[in-house]
Structures are given as structure tokens and as C-alpha cells.
Structure 1
Amino acid sequence: MFSSLRARLLLWLLVPLGASALLNIWFARREALNTATVVQDRLLLGSARIIAQQIQYEDGVLEVAIPPAALELFQSTEQDRVFYRIASARGVLLSGYAELPPPPSSLKPEESLHFSAVVRDQPVRVVAYAQPVFAAPDEGPVVIEVAQTYQAHRRLVRQIWATSLRQEAWMLALVAVLAWISLRRGLKGIVRLGDKVRERTPGSLEPLDPGPVPHELQPLVGAINGYVQRLDAQMAVRSRFIANASHQLRTPFTVLQTQVNFGLRSPEPGQKDEALRAIFQGVRSGTRLVNQLLSLSTAEAGVQHPRPPVPVNLVDLVQRVLEEQAALAQAKDIDLGLDLQTDRVEILASSSMLHELVANLVDNALRYTPAGGVVTVAVRRMEELVILRVEDNGPGIPPEDRARVFERFCRLHDDDTPGCGLGLSIVQEVAQALGAEVQLSDPAVGTGLVVTLVFPASPR
């Protein structure tokens, strides 16, 4: 709902302030009620004392006169009703309204009591005051009661509460304005940083200059610069890959064009057949190059967006790959063997990516192993690890070049061995996606290469 950070911060600030203001308003209403009650009680007590001063005892009779000043205290625009009642200590009504109830408890001389009651179906506030008669102490104190309805009381409550409400509203508005100004000034660093990012030219991968940004934004700037560096390195790798791929594809197409032109110009059927055979070999090599490029792209996608792994029986997968590569092994008279200890070894992996990895390992070994050689694939489980070994007796790879062979389009032998230098690169990418480790070593006897992959095993 609030896409602006400034608006969100202001909302998070105003919500607790608003809750606090509501709580203050509730307390203010309670205080207004208490204040209005105190004012009304004091007026009632003042009126009762004025009446009490007019009580006289003459000739054995209590005489009561209600002075106008006692009732003028309650004059207002609200037209409140005022009731009074004067009774002797024995409860005999001397003057006033009989329906005004007596106090709920007895009073000592000069003691007052405030309480609420209902007179003529109207709620009233009542004060009872005990006035001693010094001329006739045996008569006991005279109880004077004065009551008033609540119209003026409610008006005073509304006035006091409205004043508090206006003050809270003005304070909340002032705080909101000041908070908005403070947030604008405080978020200038973020706005400035956003402007710097927007002003960058497309394709610019230079580190972002943070400038005078707040301390809290420095991790964000560092993360952006770290991402820019990784993106720069990735783009550099992609650029080299595209350049190398373009070069690798340009050569087969150039050769194909030359062979097609030669076949078209040749009048002899034998020369045309020779050109067709060369074209066939070129198309097959180009197809293999395209397939490996696609495999490498798939492996890279698997590293960046890995799929959920599933249990895969590595033994069945290796057997299937060896069946697929049997024709190439037979064509070169290579002894392609499988060394197993059990018929089931499971690992958690993507079946398609694992097939691509094993296929490239076996294909690479067959292509670099001379005719009449030996290629052996072994699968072992050692505790919580699974070992896949592909061993050949080809020319091998010198130790100083083993780190370089995982680079794309890297070829160490300048011979006529078909290939484009992507096999081990694909193996490395897929192994990284599957969480496996690749190791290169020499065989125990003779020349050749041993490629070992170590996988974490699936739970038994």
C-alpha cells in the first residue's frame, strides 16, 4: 500500500503517537469528569453552608429561611433544576422537597457527604451537610441537602474535553509535520544514492561511489559494489566464451563452405563423394560442438538455479552411458569396461545433469585414448561418499596443466584428436551444480589420466 519508505516510516511513527494521543484523550475525559464533579460538589456545598447559616432556634422551634444567594450559585444557560431539603436530626422535614432522599449514612456535625440520586426521574448530584444548632444542642445537627441536575456538569465536561482534544490534535499535527521534515532531511542520503544509481550509463560496471552516506547505508553500498564486481567477472567470462564460441563455429562453417564449393566444381563423381564425406564429418563435428555448448549452458543454468535433487542410481546411469558410447569404443577398438562392487549406489542429483557429466567424462576418455587402449569406469561407495572414477591409458595431462584444462576451449595436444576443449569444462560446471569434487591424477601403472568425482551419498 505504501511504496514510499518515507511514508512507511512516517506511518510507523504516527501509529504509536496516535495510540498515545487516544490514550491521552481518554485520560483527559476522565479528568474532565472529575473536574466537573469537583466544581459541582463545591457549588453544592457552598449553597448548603449558606442555607445552614440562616437556621435559627427560637422559642423551641427551628426556623429555616432560604436566602436567594444560595440558589443564585447555580444560575447558568443550561436551566438546571435545583432541589433542597432541610430536616431535623430526627428526620422531620423542615423545608424543601420531600422526594429528595436522605443521605445513605448518618453525619457528624459539620460533616458533608456527596452522592448521586434520582429526583422526579432526573439524575441529580446531592450534597448533605450537618449543621449543629448551638442554641439547642439537644436537638442534634440539622441536615441540609442541596441537589442539582447534570446539564451544567455535562457542558463543563464537554468544554474541558474539547480543549484537551484540540490540544492533542494540534500536537499530533505538529509532530507529523516535524517528522515529515526530519524524514525528508534524514533520507536525503538514500535519495542521493538512488540518483547516482539511476544516472549510471547502461552497461556500466564501475563500483558505486558511496559519498557521504549514513553509516546504516554503507552495507548496502558494499553489497551493490560486490554484486557489480561479480557481475563484471561473469560478463567478462561470458564475453570470452562468446568470442571463443564464435571462433570455434566460424572455422567449421568456413571449412564446410570450401568443401561444398569444391564438390560443386568437381566434375568427377569420386571427388564429389570425397567432398560429401568431408562435409559429413564437418557437420558431425559442428553438431557435437553445438551440443556441447548447449550442455555447458544447461550446466551453468543448473549452478545458478539448481533443481530439487532426487535419488539416482549411479550404477544404472553409468551402464546406460556405456551402452551409448559402445559404438565409439568399438570403432577405435578400445576396451571399455565397468568395475562395480554393488548394483545399486544412490546419490541425490538431477538425473539429466548427472547423465551429461558421465557422458562427457567417458566421451573425453574415449577420444583421447589411442586405438587399442583401455577405458575403465569404476563406482564405489565409501561410508557417506560415492566415488566415480574414469581411467584411461591415453597421453594424460601433465600436473602443471591440470588446473588449466577446466578452462573453456582449452586443448593441450595439437594433434588431430576431434574435440573442442569443452568436455572437462562441462564436467566442472555440472560437478559444481551437484556439489561434487573433481580430482585429476595419474594411473597407478603406465600413462594416462584418472578423473575422480566425489559425491555426497544419498542416505541409505
Structure 2
Amino acid sequence: MPTTKTSLRQQLLLWLLLPQLVYCLAGAVLFFTVTLFYANRVIDTRLVETAESLARLSQTHHADIQRLAPMVVQQTDHRFYAISQQSGNVLHGSPDFKNTAAPYLAEINSRAEPLLFDAVLNAKQFRIAALRATTANAEPILIQVAFDLDQRNRYAKQILISTALPLALLIIITCLLVWWGIGRGLRPLAQLQSLMELRKAQDLSPLSLQDAPRELQGLSSALNHLLSGTEESINRQRRFIADAAHQLRTPLAGLKSQTELAMRESSPEGLRERLNMVHTSATRSIHLVNQLLTLARSEPGSQTGIPKVQMDLAKIIRDLTAELVPRALAARIDLGCDCFVPTAMMHGNSALLREMFINLVENAIKYIPRDGSITVRLTEDAHNYIVDVEDNGLGIPDEDKARVFERFYRREQTGNGCGLGMSIVKEIVERHAGTVELLDAQPHGLIVHVVLPKTELPA
């Protein structure tokens, strides 16, 4: 079963909202921690100030301390105090704090300032400031001022709630804004999807997106480039099919007429002559079909060719020249090969390159006068291998050199050619990122000049 993938909208929401949620929660925790820290600091400061005030009051107004102490402490349901003797007897204040400072007496007696500590009394947690002091008659006493931390915790909860509610509202507003922004940002993608869904398969015209962002313009340009290449490939195939149909129609019609005439012949001599003509027509048709198949395979958009591999161009040229020598001798042509490069390794399609050189040599054999000569020459420069197929024929006028590479163009209507040989050569050379041109030979003749780039061998 195909796996369900999350949408781009969901991914954007996740990566945009998740960090913001983390930041908001972290901010709330930090704000609560800092607030609690300063609240504890305020409580400790007030406790110390109150304990010191009670110590001064004990020294100056000892007789009135029972009346004045509650006012100094501002005793409420969460503020308490106790003034005790060294024996632990509580003289004034809450008797519940009789023994709370017992574990800390040694430290309290050694300090001049109040000691702050936490204590649990009656299942409640208190923050206590304890101070050793003396009365007006030099009697040592222990002063304790306590604050009920349950009240602080209630304050902390209120602070947390008052902080969390605005943050929750902020998160909700942020989610809505991000959702709206992502939807608006992805709207051009929806437009592109709509354009593609409504477009017919035959419509390969460029896409037009108005006010599209830069990233989508890049995608649109890539799609337009793909559509343009596809349209060019389809048009090339259509032209090829039209040209092939046009070129095949004539020889096949002639072949059919020859067979009909042969069927009417009654004499053996006439029948043999008609059959010879049928054989000639069939040979031309086979040659045309082979050339068309080679042309289709050599086109840059074709995927049916043999993959490119490392190969020796010099060996291919030497072997092909040797194979074509018997045919050249039969046509009274002197065919030779000059390989000035012993080994020419390159990355290419050996089958197509063989077909290219066969076309070049066969064209020369076909169109130069008898007793002529053809030389296949291989040289190199810093970046390229150069192949020249030179003959001493009549050559080609400059105005016709460019047209020679057009499909089905024939300068002469004689012979069995179909006008595809040089088109095949051009397609194969271009498929190997090379160039081909026609040059004049001296004193007369033609040079087909092919340049093929070298390729680095793998380490």
C-alpha cells in the first residue's frame, strides 16, 4: 500500500508553529521563575527588616513590645512572629514557633544579621527570619518572623494563570495568522496545479503565472523548458514520420507497379527483366528503411541507442577502412587510412560512430569519379580528435554545402541514394558534442571535417 505523505501545508505549519509554541512555553516558564525569584527576594527582605525592627524595639521599648510588635510585623493570617527566651519560652507572639529555630541556634547565635530558613509547621511551609538580640536590661532573646508560603504559592498560581492566558491567546492568534499566511503563500501552487489539471495533453504551450514568487517562477521556468523540449521532440518525430512516409511511398509504389507488370509477363526474358527491376526497387527500399532507422536512433532525443562507453576511435577507423577496401576496389577507388594517433580513447557510442564513418566513405565512393582516391585521416589537438575524409572528386559548391546536411536533399537524382547519409552524420556528431563541416580539398575534391571532443578516462 502506498504510504500517506504529509502535505506541504502541514509541514510548514509544523515547522513554524512548533518553535513558536516552544518559545512561548519557555517564555512563560522563564517569566514565572523570574517573578517567583523576585517575590522570594521581597519576602526575605521584608522578613529581615521586620526582624531587625523588632530587635531595635526590644532594646528601646521593651515594656511596650507586646503592644507595638503586632503593628511592626503587620500580623495577618500569613504573617507571624515570636519573641522567645533562650530557654525556648515564648514571651510574645505565636507559641507555635517555640522550637522551629532549635536546629539553627548555634548559627543564629554566631551571626549579627538574621538567618533565613524554611520550616514546616502544622503541615504548612513557612519562610522564617531568626535573629539573636538583647532587651533593654541586657536579657538575651530570640526573634522570629515567619511568612506562610502557601500564600506565596497562591500568588504564584495567580501569576502563572495571568501569564498563561495572554500567551494562549497569543498562540491562537499566531496559529491563525500562520495558517492564513501559508494559505496565501501556497496559492500560486494551487494556481499552477489548476493550470496543469485543466490543460489538455496536446497543449504544450508555456505556462504563464502572474505575480508568482521567485521560487515558483523557477519551477515554472523549468516546466516551460521541459514542455518546450517535449514539444520540440514531438515536432521532430512528426517531421520524421511525415518525411519517412513521403519517402517510402514512392519506392513502395514503384515496387508494387513492377510486381504487377511482372505478373503480366509471359516470356521468361521479360519476367527476368521485371524481377531484376523488382530486386533493385526492394534493395533501394531496404537501404532507405535502414537509413531511416539509423537516423531515428541517432537523434539526440532518442533513447534507443547503445549507451556510451569508453572506446578506441583509432581502432574503429582502421577496422572500418579495412572492411570497405573491397567495395572501394570494386568501384575502382583507392581507399587509404592515415592514423597519426595510435590510440584515441573517448566516451562514445561505437555503433553510431561506425555508421557515421560508413556513410562518409560510402558517399565518397558513390559520388566521386572512377579511379579516384579517398583518404581517411585521424589527428588530434589538445582537446579534440579530428577525422577528415578527403576525396579528389569534383567537390561541392559553397552554396550547396549547408544544404547537404538537410534530410532527403540530393544534389544529383542519379544513383540509389536517399538523401539521408549526411543528415545521419550530422546527428551522430552532434550527439557526441562534436562539429562537422565541408571543406574544399586541393587542387580539387571535398573534405568532410569532423571534430569530436576528447573525454577524460576514469581513474
Structure 1 and Structure 2 fold alike (TM over 0.5):
yes
Q: Percent identity?
A: 32
1:24 equivalent in structure 2: 27
Q: Are the aligned partners of 1:309 and 1:348 in contact in 2 as well (CA < 8 Å)? A: yes
SS of 2:380 mapped into structure 1? strand
Q: Measure, in 2, the Cα distance between the counterparts of 1:28 and 1:316.
A: 82
Structure 1 runs (4+) greater than 6 angstroms displaced: 49-54, 56-60, 62-71, 120-123, 302-308
1:300 equivalent in structure 2: 299
Q: Measure, in 1, the Cα distance between the counterparts of 2:229 and 2:195.
A: 20
| Alpha-carbon distance, 1:197 to partner | 3.8
Residues 322 and 121 (structure 1), Cα distance of their counterparts in 2 relative to 1, 3 Å cut: farther
The Cα offsets for residues 147-180 of structure 1, whole Å up to 9 and x where unpaired, read as 5686555555455335434433332221111121
Q: Measure, in 2, the Cα distance between the counterparts of 1:248 and 1:454.
A: 31
Task: For 1:191, give the aligned amino acid.
Answer: A
1:349 matched to 2:348? The reply is yes
The Cα offsets for residues 417-450 of structure 1, whole Å up to 9 and x where unpaired, read as 222222222222221222222121011122x321
Equivalent pairs counted in the alignment come to 443
| Alpha-carbon distance, 1:35 to partner | 5.3
1:79 equivalent in structure 2: none
Q: Which runs of 5+ in 2 are unaligned?
A: 91-97
Q: Are the aligned partners of 2:436 and 2:450 in contact in 1 as well (CA < 8 Å)? A: yes
2:336 equivalent in structure 1: 337
SS of 2:209 mapped into structure 1? coil
1:177 equivalent in structure 2: 176
1:431 equivalent in structure 2: 429
1:126 equivalent in structure 2: 127
Q: Which runs of 5+ in 1 are unaligned?
A: 76-81
2:160 equivalent in structure 1: 161
Residues 47 and 368 (structure 1), Cα distance of their counterparts in 2 relative to 1, 3 Å cut: same
Which has the higher mean CA deviation after the structures are superposed, 336-345 or 120-129? 120-129
> Which of 432, 447, 453 is equivalent to 2:450?
453
Q: Are the aligned partners of 1:377 and 1:388 in contact in 2 as well (CA < 8 Å)? A: yes
The Cα offsets for residues 101-144 of structure 1, whole Å up to 9 and x where unpaired, read as 24856554xx545344x6689995533254865634x457x442
> Which of 16, 21, 24 is equivalent to 1:13?
16
Counterparts of 1:221-232 in structure 2, within 5 Å, are: 221-232=220-231
Task: For 2:127, give the aligned amino acid.
Answer: V
1:417 equivalent in structure 2: 415
SS of 2:426 mapped into structure 1? helix
Q: Measure, in 1, the Cα distance between the counterparts of 2:62 and 2:41.
A: 39
Which has the higher mean CA deviation after the structures are superposed, 314-323 or 365-374? 365-374
2:245 equivalent in structure 1: 246
TM-score normalized with structure 1 length: 0.79
1:289 matched to 2:288? The reply is yes
CA RMSD in angstroms, aligned pairs only: 4.1
SS of 1:101 mapped into structure 2? helix
| Alpha-carbon distance, 1:386 to partner | 1.7
2:77 equivalent in structure 1: 73
TM-score normalized with structure 2 length: 0.79
Q: Measure, in 2, the Cα distance between the counterparts of 1:114 and 1:439.
A: 100
Task: For 1:258, give the aligned amino acid.
Answer: S
Residues 51 and 122 (structure 1), Cα distance of their counterparts in 2 relative to 1, 3 Å cut: farther
Q: Measure, in 1, the Cα distance between the counterparts of 2:329 and 2:47.
A: 121
Which has the higher mean CA deviation after the structures are superposed, 359-368 or 32-41? 32-41
Q: Measure, in 2, the Cα distance between the counterparts of 1:327 and 1:320.
A: 13
Residues 123 and 338 (structure 1), Cα distance of their counterparts in 2 relative to 1, 3 Å cut: farther
Which has the higher mean CA deviation after the structures are superposed, 184-193 or 258-267? 184-193
Task: For 1:74, give the aligned amino acid.
Answer: H
1:135 equivalent in structure 2: 136
